[in-house]
Structure 1
Amino acid sequence: MRLGTTSVSLLALMVHTTLYADNTHSQSDIPPERIVVTGSRVAESMDEVPASITIITQQDIQAQMLVNPEMQSILANLVPGLAADTGSSSNSGQTLRGRNPLVMIDGVPQSTPLRNGALDVRTIDPSAIERIEVIKGATSIYGNGAAGGIINFITKKASAGSALSGEASLSSRFSAVKTAESAGVRAAGLVQGQINQFNYLVSASYEENGVQRDAEGDILGLQYGLSDAVTENVFVKVGYDFDQDKSLTVSFNQYSSQQKTDLGDVVNDINSGEKTYAIHVPVELQKQGKPQGPDGNTNFSLKYVDYALFDNTQLNIDVYQQTIENVFFYSPRLANPDLGLDGGQSIIRSEKSGLRTTFNSRFEFDGFSTTLIYGIDALEDTSSQPLVDGRMWVPEMAMKSLAGFVQSKWLFGEDLVLKAGVRQENIDLEVDDYETLKLCSSPTQCSTAVKVKGDTLDYRATTYNLGLKYNWHAYFSPFISISQGADISDLGLLLRAATVTDIADIQTEAAIIDNYELGFSSQFSTTRFELALFRSTSELGTSNKFNAQTGIYEPVRAPQEIWGGEALLSHKFTPALSMTASYSYVEGKQTDTDTYLGARQISAPKATLALKWQATDALTLNLDSIYVGDRKRFAPNSAGKYVADQAPVDSYFVTNLSGSYQFAANWQGYFAVHNLFNLDYYPAKSQSYAYGSYNVKGVGSTVNLGVKTRF
Structure 2
Amino acid sequence: MNKYNGSIAWFCAGMTIFLAAPNAVAETISVTGVRLNETEQGVEIVLETSPLGEVRAFQTKFGNTIAIDILNTRLQSDSSEGFRRQNPTANIAAIEVIQQNQNSIRILVKGTQQVPNVQLTEQQERLTLAVDSGTPVAQEGRESEPQPETPTQPEELPTQPETQPEPGEPIRLIVTPTRTEEREEDVARSTTVITREEIEEQSGLSTNLPDLLGRTVPGLGPPTQSASTRTQSLRGRQPFISVDGVPLNSNRRDFQGLRSIDPSAIERIEVVRGPTAVFGSDATGGVINIITREAARERITGSTSISLGPRLSLSDLSESFGGGISQSLSGDLGSVDYAFTASFEGTGNAFDAGNDLIPIGRSQGLDNLETLNLFGKVGVDITEDQRLQISANYFDDKQDVPTLPDPSVNETPERETARALDTGDLDIDELPGREETVINLKYSHDDLLGSQFSLQGFFQESLTRTIPEDKRDTIFQSVSRTEIDSEKLGIRLEVETPIFEDANLFWGADYVEESVDNPIEIFNAATFDESGGTEFDKVDEEFFAPSYDLNTLGLFGQLQWDATQKLSLSGGVRFERFEVFADSYNVLGDIALTRAGNAVENVEGGDIAFDDVVFNVGAVYDLTEELSLFANFAQGFSAPDFGRVLRFPPRGAGSVSEFVDVTEPVVVDNYELGLRGNWDQVQFSLAGFFTYSDLGENVRESDEGPFLELERSPTRTYGLEVSLDYQPSQDWQLGTSVTWVEGESNPENTDEGFVALSTREIQPWKITAYVDNQTLPSWRNRLQLLVVGGRDRAFDDGVDDRDIDGYITLDYISEVDVGPGTLQLGIQNLLDNQYFPVDSQLQSENSRNSAALGRTLSLEYSVQW
TM-score of the pair, normalised by structure 2: 0.74
Whole-angstrom CA distance in 1 between matches of 2:705 and 2:552: 36
| 2:563 paired with 1:412 | yes
Whole-angstrom CA distance in 2 between matches of 1:566 and 1:700: 29
Q: What are the equivalent positions in structure 2 for 1:21-420 lying under 5 Å apart?
A: 33=171, 35-112=173-250, 114-162=251-299, 164-173=300-309, 174-223=312-361, 224-267=364-407, 268=409, 272-281=414-423, 290-295=430-435, 297-311=436-450, 313-333=451-471, 342-365=478-501, 369-389=502-522, 390-420=541-571
Percent identity, please.
Answer: 27
Structure 2 unaligned blocks of 5 or more: 1-96, 101-105, 107-169, 523-540
| 2:588 paired with 1:437 | yes
Whole-angstrom CA distance in 2 between matches of 1:29 and 1:703: 37
Distance 1:85 1:94, change over 3 A: same
| 2:819 paired with 1:653 | no
Asked if 2 retains the 8 angstrom alpha-carbon contact of 1:138 and 1:485, the reply is: yes
| 2:565 paired with 1:428 | no
Q: 1:470 aligns with which of 591, 598, 621?
A: 621
- Tell me how far 1:291 sits from its aligned partner: 2.2
Asked if 2 retains the 8 angstrom alpha-carbon contact of 1:177 and 1:702, the reply is: no
- 2:793 maps to 633
Whole-angstrom CA distance in 1 between matches of 2:394 and 2:358: 28
- 1:535 maps to 690
Asked if 2 retains the 8 angstrom alpha-carbon contact of 1:336 and 1:343, the reply is: no
Aligned residue identity for 1:135: V
- Tell me how far 1:534 sits from its aligned partner: 0.6
Aligned residue identity for 1:608: T
Whole-angstrom CA distance in 1 between matches of 2:595 and 2:856: 44
Asked if 2 retains the 8 angstrom alpha-carbon contact of 1:613 and 1:621, the reply is: yes
Q: The residue matched to 2:480 in structure 1 has which SS?
A: coil
Distance 1:371 1:205, change over 3 A: same
Distance 1:677 1:363, change over 3 A: same
Asked if 2 retains the 8 angstrom alpha-carbon contact of 1:294 and 1:325, the reply is: yes
Distance 1:672 1:445, change over 3 A: farther
Q: Deviations over 1:520-572 (max 9, x none)?
A: 11234412221000111111113344554667643222111111110001111
Asked if 2 retains the 8 angstrom alpha-carbon contact of 1:541 and 1:558, the reply is: yes
| 2:824 paired with 1:682 | no
Aligned residue identity for 1:277: R
- Tell me how far 1:692 sits from its aligned partner: 5.7
Asked if 2 retains the 8 angstrom alpha-carbon contact of 1:533 and 1:564, the reply is: yes
Q: The residue matched to 2:210 in structure 1 has which SS?
A: helix
- Tell me how far 1:212 sits from its aligned partner: 1.1
Asked if 2 retains the 8 angstrom alpha-carbon contact of 1:335 and 1:441, the reply is: no
Asked if 1 retains the 8 angstrom alpha-carbon contact of 2:593 and 2:600, the reply is: no
- 1:21 maps to none
- 2:716 maps to 561
* Greater RCO, 1 or 2 (C-alpha within 8 Å, sep 6+): 1
Asked if 2 retains the 8 angstrom alpha-carbon contact of 1:622 and 1:659, the reply is: yes
- 2:47 maps to none
Aligned residue identity for 2:659: D
Distance 1:446 1:329, change over 3 A: farther
- Tell me how far 1:445 sits from its aligned partner: 9.3
- Tell me how far 1:594 sits from its aligned partner: 1.4
Q: The residue matched to 1:60 in structure 2 has which SS?
A: helix
Whole-angstrom CA distance in 1 between matches of 2:475 and 2:290: 44
- 1:709 maps to 863
Aligned residue identity for 2:260: T
Q: Deviations over 1:550-608 (max 9, x none)?
A: 67643222111111110001111211111120000111101332111101211000110
- 2:630 maps to 479
- 2:757 maps to 597
- Tell me how far 1:403 sits from its aligned partner: 1.4
- 2:156 maps to none
Whole-angstrom CA distance in 2 between matches of 1:337 and 1:634: 27
Whole-angstrom CA distance in 2 between matches of 1:318 and 1:648: 47
Asked if 2 retains the 8 angstrom alpha-carbon contact of 1:440 and 1:550, the reply is: no
Rg larger in structure: 2
Whole-angstrom CA distance in 2 between matches of 1:337 and 1:79: 39
Aligned residue identity for 2:855: S
Asked if 1 retains the 8 angstrom alpha-carbon contact of 2:594 and 2:600, the reply is: no
- Tell me how far 1:201 sits from its aligned partner: 1.1
Distance 1:101 1:29, change over 3 A: farther
- Tell me how far 1:170 sits from its aligned partner: 0.5
Whole-angstrom CA distance in 2 between matches of 1:381 and 1:403: 14
- RMSD (Å), alpha carbons: 2.6
Whole-angstrom CA distance in 2 between matches of 1:454 and 1:692: 41
Q: Deviations over 1:393-412 (max 9, x none)?
A: 11122122221111111102
Asked if 1 retains the 8 angstrom alpha-carbon contact of 2:649 and 2:659, the reply is: no
Q: Deviations over 1:657-688 (max 9, x none)?
A: 01111123x31111111110101010122112
Q: The residue matched to 2:481 in structure 1 has which SS?
A: coil
Distance 1:206 1:51, change over 3 A: same
- Tell me how far 1:177 sits from its aligned partner: 2.6
Q: Deviations over 1:138-176 (max 9, x none)?
A: 1122222111111110000111122x2100010111112
Aligned residue identity for 2:369: A
Q: Deviations over 1:209-252 (max 9, x none)?
A: 01111111122121211111000000000111123322111001
Distance 1:607 1:450, change over 3 A: farther
Q: Deviations over 1:674-705 (max 9, x none)?
A: 11010101012211232564311110100111
- Tell me how far 1:87 sits from its aligned partner: 1.9
Structure 1 unaligned blocks of 5 or more: 1-26
Q: The residue matched to 1:709 in structure 2 has which SS?
A: strand
Q: The residue matched to 2:712 in structure 1 has which SS?
A: strand
- 2:725 maps to 570
TM-score of the pair, normalised by structure 1: 0.89
Q: 2:773 aligns with which of 613, 626, 630?
A: 613
Aligned residue identity for 2:554: A
Asked if 1 retains the 8 angstrom alpha-carbon contact of 2:542 and 2:589, the reply is: no
Number of aligned residue pairs: 668
Q: Deviations over 1:590-631 (max 9, x none)?
A: 133211110121100011011111111110111111110010
Whole-angstrom CA distance in 2 between matches of 1:68 and 1:447: 47
Q: The residue matched to 1:81 in structure 2 has which SS?
A: coil
Asked if 1 retains the 8 angstrom alpha-carbon contact of 2:666 and 2:697, the reply is: no
- Tell me how far 1:512 sits from its aligned partner: 1.1
Aligned residue identity for 1:437: L
